[in-house]
Amino acid sequence: MQSFIASYLLKNRAKLIEEWGKEWAKLRSESDLLTQPDDAFEHTNRKLMELVLSTAEGHKDSYYAELKEHVDRFIQNGGSLILFSKSMHLFRKVCQRFVLASDLKESQAVEMLAELNEWIDERTDRIVNDYAGNWEHTIEMQKLSLLELSAPLIPVFEGITVMPLIGTIDTARAKLIMENLLEGVIEHRSKVVLIDITGVPVVDTMVAQHIIEASEAVRLIGAKAVLVGIRPEIAQTIVNLGIDLARFPTQSTLRKGVVLALEMTGKKVVDL
């Protein structure tokens, strides 16, 4: 930004903050910021305004870092990125009002308005893009964590583990199921793995293929897979689709699957 515009902003800093504060007060009445105490609201918006204007000075990167930190706190305290964006539009409105009311020549005013718009857009876009990037990263990490939790391998007896599956199974989740299954079989020294599909709402050709591949992979590392939780409607779907599960033991319930797994490992349930 040209130096004379930076000088103009800093020269009119107090007036800009005052007018911007008035616009902020109007915005507050339309937002959740009404829940904030007056002194907290005043401190929050004044700090924001001062930081934005400070980026007109030299060493703006250091001011950007402080501004981003302040916006982070602002959002954590109940604000939003949309509200921040609105506040920057209000700042644009105040600046335009000042320029149009000044004694600048028309050509100078037009040039200054264009520079001011570019200056405001740069700061708004930088904060929004930085925050959105961090937010997307956080969402992706949470998604991965949820995926990992959605395919646990649980040891129930010596040599017997259960993998309960809940929800739909897509390609990404199927890959994670396969990884957790193979790693868990080796870690727990499993001889039999019960793959429980009670919580899987739909078993189509793709889902069945993923389950078959997982069962085959378990067999290749020396263990056996038992498919449990096959409800009547799921059994009918498997037959209608012509899916062949003849190579793998199946049981209608997890309880029956556990009994079968005990028998396969040389154990049995005894009533006392």
Q: Quick count: other Cβ atoms within 10 Å of Cβ 160?
A: 23
Quick check: 183 and 151 in contact, CB under 8 A?
Answer: no
Is residue 210 located within the same domain as residue 87? no
Q: Which domain holds residue 32?
A: 3-147
- Tell whether 136 and 20 lie within a shared domain: yes
The pLDDT score that the predictor gives to residue 1 is 46
* Number of domains within the chain: 2
The number of CA neighbours under 13 Å toward the Cβ of 209 is 6
* pLDDT tens, residue by residue, 57-73: 655 566 677 777 777 77
Q: Which CATH number goes with the domain that contains 185?
A: 3.30.750.24
- 110-124, 172-186, 253-267: range with highest mean pLDDT: 253-267
Which of 73, 77, 78, 69 minimizes the C-alpha distance to 127? 69
| SS3 call for 161 | strand
| 271, part of any domain | no
60 with 18: CB under 8 angstroms? no
Q: DSSP per residue over 134-158, as a string?
A: HHHHHHHHHHHHHHHHTS--EEEET
34 found inside a domain: yes
Q: Which residues pair with 196 in a beta bridge?
A: 164, 228
Residues 128 and 169 in one domain: no
The tokens of 81 are what? 């990125």
Q: Taking Cα atoms as reference points, which of 196, 178, 177 lies closest to residue 255?
A: 196
pLDDT of residue 12: 78
For residues 76 and 192, the model is more confident at: 192
270 found inside a domain: no
Q: Are 83 and 31 in contact (CB under 8 A)?
A: yes
What is the tens place of the pLDDT at every residue in 132-178?
Answer: 766 666 677 666 666 555 678 889 999 999 999 888 887 878 888 88
